[in-house]
Structure 1
Amino acid sequence: MRLIPLIALQVILVMVHGLQAQSPEALKAAYDAKHVFALRDAVAHSSAPRLYKGAVDASANRVQTATKELQAVIQHDPHSDEAYEAHDLLGNLYFRNGMYREGYGEIVAALRESPNASDAKSMLSIFTALNELPKMSVVEMKPTSMAIEPGSLSLPFQANGKDLKFFFDTGAAISIMGESEAKELGILAKPVEGKMNDSSGRGVSGLRVALVSDLRIGGLHLRNVPFLVIADSGEPWTHAPKNERGIIGLPLLIAMRTFRWTPEGRFEFGLPAGKPDINTCNMLFHNSSPVVDVLVEGMHLDFTLDTGAVDTDLNPPFAKALPDLMKSGQPEERALEGLGGKVVNASLLLPSVTFAFGGKSLALSPAHVFTEHGNGAWAPGNLGMDLLRQARAFTVDFEAMTLRLE
């Protein structure tokens, strides 16, 4: 999607929840600002254009419904700005669900209409490589409960018959493995141009794509699972044991439908899903990021959900949305790390901030707010494991689109 200026969150919320909630301006404001819950609420209270309805269905991961709505937008006016947006929404929807051939077709179509679109251009090389691979498929999915190391996010699985243990990461749009793991598996990795975005903002280059022809995690059996292969000579792999240098990303987690993690050492998936209700769910997607509705100081904010993040990051939009809260902050500098390395940014140190989400209220004491850059240009925050570990357990339900804390 094209980059646009971030609109103040307070203005969007007033427009959505106030008298103008059904206006075209409210719909466009929420859509342009990537405020997925505000857009959902605005669509629910208006006779919205099909693009916005399709965008909400895509954010709820309703593949068939979103495809129908967005294809209708494209067919109505194939060369319009709305058609480009529809192609882009479909490309991201298909990508996070491991539907790479379908996603490739949408990205190519988007670039045909807007050849200089930077976001679509940046995705083309990886989509091209993935399009050339056999189609990923789920052979079998049985409910599974597995013991893992207490406090660990690493899941045991088999790739082409070899035992591995990678950590699961809702912030990873695709699964990843280090070069050493790919060599051990004896799989070929095809070079990919460009960079992969990461939390540091530097990006990761030297990417390659490899195919695991047979993968089993408990009762989940898949064929032809793509992995990005990256160098594993630096962080975060330096101290990772052999056979543990990798990440289980969103396409595999979505294939589990639901999963539950406990800090005591239990990971379950394929659990009975909740009843889907798009109007009340507390989790949606923006592109390939799960987004959770978080209440802070009486204000609803969109936070990305990132189990691969040790710490919760609060970004510049958080500071803009809550200026009074920032008055108690002390200036500091704080490092932000990702697969691409480490950067140090200006931030504010707050004594404590309380976050309500998933049925619980949890506090960060202290809390750090980046006042420049941060982890993501648009999201006020990125929920990490420092908050999630405070719960007795958490469940992610991709059918009902909910995050539940116990």
Structure 2
Amino acid sequence: MKTLYLLTAIAILLICKLPASAQVKQLNELVYTKQYIQLEQALSGTNLSANDKMLYSAFLTNAFNQPAASNLLLKKIFARKIAANDGKLQFYLHRIAYDNYVKLNNYKAAQTASEQLVKYYSTWFSKSELTDQQEENKIWAALTATPAQQVHKQASSSILIKKDMAGLWNIPVQQQDSNYLFVFDTGANISTITATYAQKLHLDVVKNSQVSIEGGMNGVSTKVNLGIAKQLYIGKVQINNVLFLIFPDSALSFAGGAYKINGIIGLPVIKALGEITIGKDTMQIPLVIHTEPVPHNLALDLLQPVIYMEYHGKSLPFTFDTGAQVTLFSDNFYKQFKPHLDSIAKKDSLHMGGAGGSRRMKTLKVPQLTFTIDHKQVLFNNTQVNLEETQVSDKYYYGNMGQDMFAQFTSMTINFVNSSIAFGSRKESVK
């Protein structure tokens, strides 16, 4: 731990001692590579102008789930034409402006911002990213007259969690006198439901809202509609105007129908809960969210949660997915630590699948990896490292953390207000 802090401090000190123009270049790189924790630390010690500090603060408030504050900063940045001649930086600024509106459930503003991205900054997208952005624009265009999601906490809640046959967490979702078990998935950008359960929950299907959603390892597209649940309850939390993607039943049916998913509660609902603590078989949602300042180790990159863990003296960003059973390290992780991994690992392969198909990927099987988060060790035994190239949108992440990571602790508290994840004591059975 001391070595880690020393290395991080040295890196930040080196940035702070650079001339202002060189500092800006280094800080931009931290933005582009999703290193928001390092950006926050470096920004506090630089001698940048007030305009430059405002610019990087806009990125940080966006990443740390303060979209309204980020938008206020962006309004000043665009009015003052800060960094107006830097095309790449302008693309990133307009992208977080778009993301802020999505996080605020301001669908009309999100559509406008999305159209501007496609019109003025299409060359900065990869081909697949541009296609995704165009499909997202169809979603917001269909929702321009839809009220924003709203959350009302009536009291603190204690909810039973049930693991299904695939090992995924399911929580009860109530509508009127009926309860339904839905998968609790931080990796889902938008909540999802089958056509059958959309009828059971009396969802209002949005007119002219069909979009294509890519899923599975083969990238097969599925045509889905948008639906709005006027009112749902999770424990004693009332949620109004919940957006769902309505999939054909067959798309969420696996193993010949032996395993079916009724619906998935995704990140827009989960982050709106503010704070949750997950234990062995319960989820606690406090009425009053803890807001004491704590070090950040959680960010939201667009609608994708990212956690920061330390390995070999480096703070690395990982996607964070309660809907994944196991952790998978990316090719970025392999490239960063190739000599070390080659010396301890063996070549292997892993079968991966989903609603859109499946395939086998080339991997390394590593006997053990040790990380640190929240001042606690996380161990991965006989874990897999992907050797195949990551999707463009994920090229700066070092893997996806799944339930085998969370299961090492007695509890996990996710606080979206403080942008932090804290863990309980380590389970004795985990070695």
TM-score (norm 1): 0.87
Match in the other structure for 1:384? 402
Q: 1:296 corresponds to which letter in structure 2?
A: Y
- How far did 1:109 drift? 3.4
Larger Rg: 2
Q: What aligned pairs does 1:126-137 form with structure 2 within 5 A after superposition?
A: 126-137=139-150
Match in the other structure for 1:340? 356
Aligned-CA RMSD value: 2.8
Distance 1:64 1:187, change over 3 A: closer
Distance 1:50 1:201 in 2: 42
Distance 1:107 1:276, change over 3 A: farther
- How far did 1:350 drift? 0.7
2:105 is aligned with 1:89:
no
Match in the other structure for 2:412? 394
2:311 is aligned with 1:296:
yes
Q: What aligned pairs does 1:295-374 form with structure 2 within 5 A after superposition?
A: 295-327=310-342, 328-374=344-390
Distance 1:235 1:349, change over 3 A: farther
| Match for residue 55 of structure 2 among 51, 54, 57 | 51
Q: Secondary structure at the match of 1:362?
A: strand
- Runs of 4+ residues deviating >6 angstroms: 12-15
- How far did 1:202 drift? 1.4
Q: 1:77 corresponds to which letter in structure 2?
A: K
Residue by residue over 1:219-264, the C-alpha shift from the partner in whole angstroms, topping out at 9 and shown as x without a partner, is 11122111011123145554346xx51111111111111001112x
Q: 1:19 corresponds to which letter in structure 2?
A: L
Match in the other structure for 1:3? none
Match in the other structure for 1:30? 30
Distance 1:146 1:36 in 2: 33
Match in the other structure for 1:62? 66
Distance 2:96 2:156 in 1: 31
Distance 1:13 1:232, change over 3 A: farther
Distance 2:287 2:379 in 1: 28
Identity within the alignment, %: 21
Q: Secondary structure at the match of 1:366?
A: strand
- How far did 1:189 drift? 3.3
2:163 is aligned with 1:168:
no
Distance 1:273 1:37 in 2: 22
User: Contact 2:370 / 2:378 at 8 angstroms: preserved in 1?
Assistant: yes
Distance 1:171 1:312, change over 3 A: same
Structure 1: gaps (5+ residues): 1-11
User: Contact 1:260 / 1:395 at 8 angstroms: preserved in 2?
Assistant: yes
User: Contact 1:26 / 1:42 at 8 angstroms: preserved in 2?
Assistant: no
Match in the other structure for 1:5? none
TM-score (norm 2): 0.82
Distance 2:309 2:348 in 1: 25
Q: 1:384 corresponds to which letter in structure 2?
A: G
Distance 2:81 2:215 in 1: 35
Distance 1:13 1:32, change over 3 A: farther
- How far did 1:161 drift? 5.3
Distance 1:315 1:160 in 2: 43
Q: 1:17 corresponds to which letter in structure 2?
A: I
User: Contact 1:207 / 1:228 at 8 angstroms: preserved in 2?
Assistant: yes
User: Contact 1:93 / 1:288 at 8 angstroms: preserved in 2?
Assistant: no
More deviation, 328-337/299-308: 328-337
Q: Secondary structure at the match of 1:106?
A: helix
- How far did 1:105 drift? 3.1
Q: Secondary structure at the match of 2:71?
A: helix
Q: What aligned pairs does 1:238-317 form with structure 2 within 5 A after superposition?
A: 238-240=257-259, 245-263=262-280, 265-270=281-286, 272-275=288-291, 277=293, 280-317=295-332
| Structure with higher helix content | 2
Distance 1:341 1:44, change over 3 A: farther
| Match for residue 229 of structure 1 among 239, 242, 246 | 246
